[in-house]
Homo-oligomer: A and B are copies of this chain.
Amino acid sequence: SVNPDLASERQTASFSVEKLTAWLDGGAEQTRMRRAVVAAIESDPVFSREDQYFQSQNERYEAAVRKAVHLQKKMHKMGWTEDGPENKYIYRALSGDVAFLLHRVFMRSISMLGSDKQIGKWIPLATHYQLIGSYAQTELGHGTYIQGLETTAVFDITTQEFILNTPKISAMKWWPGDMGRSATHTVVFAQLYVHGNCYGVHPFIVQIRSLRDHSLCPGITAGDIGPKMNFEHVDNGYLMLQNVRVPRENMLNKFCEVQPDGTYVRRGSQKINYFTMTSVRISVLSDEVIIPLMKACTIAIRYSVVRRQSKLKPGEQEAKILDCQTQQEKLLPQLAAAYAFHFINDYLQELFDNGYREIQRKNFDTLPELHAFSSGFKAMVTQYGTSAVEICLRACGGHGYSLLSGLPSLYTKMLASCIYEGENTILLLQTARFLIKCFMAASTGQPVPPSVTYLAAVKPGNCPAKTKLDFLSPDIYTEAYQHTAVRLISSTAAKLQDLIQSGVKKHDAWNQCTVQLAQAAKAHCHYITVKNFAETVEKLETKAGIQKIMKHLCDLFALHGIFSNAGAFLHDGYISGAQMDMVTASYLDLLAVIRPDAVPLVDAFDFTDKNLNSALGSYDGQIYQRLYEWAQKSPTNKQMSPAYERYLKPLLHNTLSKL
């Protein structure tokens, strides 16, 4: 039975939950398909995550491999294919708790960087799991700065082989998934040397384990890098190479080749490599950030209407904690952000698809914009999302801290997204570089990509809002975000120029501006996110009450951002102190307006209980019963600890003096 405190929340929804779900999915047909995939996965005990919070790293790894192998059978049985429409729901249904994700990156890198002959040889082997692949790029001493990799591949003309070596400990490959214990092959990125000349970093296919008995190949040292904050199910590994020889044909050679006589030939555009990273950064957002954030909101908001604490009014029952303004102010902005990011993801996906069409026509003009956008939004969304999940966790008090709430693992997993696929600060600075360049171009009248034309259109004047209600106008707040982004970009560009003109060297000047450059890039992404949210609401039909509640969430997201970054808006007086008071008033008013729809808004995300895997977040709100039942399953309750016989009993039965 549903806890009455939660049930009552569902009586008063101002909109149709089912219709909102369908809209978020992109149509009722998509919802149906998603639910079918989820049902098929969840009805299969192999995919259960019931014991996840009790398992060791070894157990998690074994379960993930088991699932990955079983998934092949399942897909076959269900008629699902790797590029079928169901595919995007499978990972969601598994909550990512599965092995061989790097095997896919192995295949993707061969498909993109390999010749037709190489593709013809390796892809069928990988598809049929006659090998297990990984992707060995990052080194112990080298991450985001790829040019600095130290692994070497020297061409031996006499044997027509490359000799791969790890010249020093910092050159050891470190972190690649699926490599610590599973992979038989990997793509190794190494500095290519021919006749003593270095040609930079290139990819090589290297076998690391025997296909017969899985023992390490000669010259290979490999293993698992040990415990991490999360990803216990993944065997992130290390790899050292000592005079490992691979045939000339194992260098992926679509774009460059070493010919038998040692001649190095480069062909085609290297820019396309950017595009792989772009695509990965965008694809990460939905599965690794937005869906987990939606889960965290679901758990924390459902919990907050069941949990009662303190009396708001004397003589009454203790209040649902979501009726406290402070709790609303913690959670509802995160809920609004989950929606905002869902919509910006659609926007980025469209930008990407359009760009991809151009690239297929050999037009690479959109690459810098796509690269800048994927970098900036990856940084902004992962950082914001990670903070948001942490807020959800803390808002559930002690119970949020229990692994059984599901929140700690959502948080620790999302935290990694701030680091992988490019460290966020470095990514923001790449976006900033693009913005500064466009700003310079725009101010001298040169053309810039459509998404940044706003940089040229700096309007004078201040915010025209006169009452707190004016701040519920998307024009008013979108304009404020735009003004602030332009101000931060232009003032940093000016500082940069001043420094250079005063004789500071270009790279020093850049370094002295990086704190502000990162701020400017964030302001740009925040602006685009708000603008896109407002436009999405604008386009919505006014049916089923959905537009109205989405408008409230859009307003909340926007005003929360102004409230939380007040300094950026007040700095040049665009928004005055009195206007900031109006922002605050409207912002706090919105919390109370959205509060009654909080549960329906998370119900619309449509997570099953199994998918949430949270003792606090289930649909029925039986939080205390579930916490108690789940705790029984903990290995800490399986038997009396040996600590009793060994330490406690001697302590209690003797006295201290006898010890």
Contact = CB atoms under 8 A, between A and B. Distances in A.
Interface of A: 53-54, 56-58, 61-62, 65-66, 68-69, 72-73, 76, 127-132, 138, 140-145, 148, 169-170, 172, 174-175, 180-182, 184, 211, 214, 223-229, 235, 238, 307-310, 312-314, 318, 323-327, 329-330, 390, 393-394, 397-398, 400-404, 408, 412, 415-416, 418-420, 423, 425-426, 429, 505, 507-508, 511-516, 518, 565-573, 577, 580, 584, 588, 624-625, 627-628, 630-637, 640-644, 646-652, 655-657, 659
B307 A141 contact: yes
A624 B132 contact: no
A65 B641 CA distance: 10
A642 to B, nearest CB: 6
B402 A419 contact: no
A155 B137 CA distance: 70
B627 A425 contact: no
Contacts of A426: 310
15 contacts: A54-B226, A57-B636, A61-B643, A62-B642, A69-B651, A72-B656, A76-B656, A172-B624, A181-B640, A214-B644, A228-B403, A314-B507, A324-B511, A567-B569, A573-B577
Contacts of A401: 228-229, 415-416, 419
Contact of A181 (B61, B223, B308, B641): B641
Contact of A398 (B65, B143, B656): B143
Given A573-B577, A577-B572, A624-B170, A128 B66 contact: no
A53 B56 CA distance: 12
Contact of A571 (B58, B318, B566, B640): B566
A419 B394 contact: yes
B514 A325 contact: yes
Q: Is the interface of A mostly helix, strand, loop or mixed?
A: helix
A86 to B, nearest CB: 18
Given A648-B214, A655-B128, A419 B397 contact: yes
Contact of A641 (B61, B505, B513, B648): B61
A129 B329 contact: no
Contacts of A624: 140-141, 169-170, 172
A184 B325 contact: no
Contacts of A144: 309-310, 397
B515 A398 contact: no
B634 A224 contact: yes
A643 B580 contact: no
Contacts of A76: 656, 659
Contact of A649 (B214, B568, B652): B214
Contacts of A228: 401-403, 408
Nearest to A318: B148
Given A403-B227, A566-B567, A655-B130, A141 B308 contact: yes
How many copies of this protein are present in the complex?
2
B65 A130 contact: no
Contacts of A132: 648, 651-652
Interface centre among A415, A627, A641 (most CB of B within 10 A): A641
A636 to B, nearest CB: 4
A313 B510 CA distance: 10
A61 B636 CA distance: 9
Given A148-B310, A312-B507, A398-B420, 16 more contacts: A57-B636, A62-B643, A129-B652, A145-B309, A148-B318, A175-B398, A226-B634, A226-B636, A238-B631, A325-B512, A326-B514, A390-B390, A516-B584, A565-B567, A566-B566, A567-B580
Contacts of A145: 309-310, 318
B515 A169 contact: no
A82 to B, nearest CB: 12
A632 to B, nearest CB: 7
B566 A143 contact: no
Contacts of A651: 69, 72, 129, 132
B172 A628 contact: yes
B656 A62 contact: no
Given A169-B628, A514-B326, A637-B224, A647 B65 contact: yes
Contacts of A416: 401
Contacts of A182: 643, 648
A419 B398 contact: yes
A486 to B, nearest CB: 15
B418 A394 contact: yes
- For the complex of A and B, list the 7 residue pairs with the smallest distance between their C-beta atoms, beginning with the closest: A566-B567, A226-B634, A224-B636, A227-B403, A567-B567, A570-B570, A226-B631
Nearest to A226: B634
Contacts of A325: 511-515
Nearest to A566: B567
A323 B512 CA distance: 10
Contacts of A652: 129-132, 184, 211
A380 to B, nearest CB: 15
B225 A402 contact: yes
Contacts of A138: 398
A404 B226 contact: yes
